[in-house]
Amino acid sequence: MYYLLELTTIPAPSAQWSAEGSSVPFHIRNFVNYTDIGDVVGIFCTPLIHKKVDDALKNTLIPYKYNIICISVKDFVDILITSSDLAETLKKILKEQYSEF
């Protein structure tokens, strides 16, 4: 499994969606298409998580059968600092967010 990190410094929900709403899903699809790697999970890392942005990104990727983790910068840094196995921690988060994962 591969993880594609998308990072933004934009805290406001409407600005996040405006700047990242189409580019994040595009980058995931583009990465898969040009690398021929099928098992990719996007990580959208932002100062603040907004449910409507989180839901919209996930819904945008449903037709393509890709998953995305939306996580705050603080939580992501905490995982990097404390987790001895980043991949297992990310898989656990995915299982919590997607029942079919």
Tokens for 11?
Answer: 């805290």
Which residue, among 35, 36, 40, 84, has the nearest Cα to 65 in the 3D structure?
Answer: 40
- Residue stretches of the chain with pLDDT short of 50: none
CA distance 18 to 15: 5
Domain assignments of the chain as residue spans, ordered by start: 2-97
pLDDT value for 100:
59
- Residue 42's Cβ-count burial label (10 Å; 0-12, 13-18, 19+) is buried
The pLDDT of residue 98 is 75
Cβ atoms of 49 and 70 within 8 Å: the answer is: yes
pLDDT at 39: 83
The CATH classification number of 2-97 equals 3.40.91.50
How does pLDDT run across 75-99, given as a tens digit for each residue? 999 988 888 888 888 888 888 887 6
- Report the pLDDT value the prediction gives residue 95, as an integer from 0 to 100: 85
Say what the pTM is.
0.84
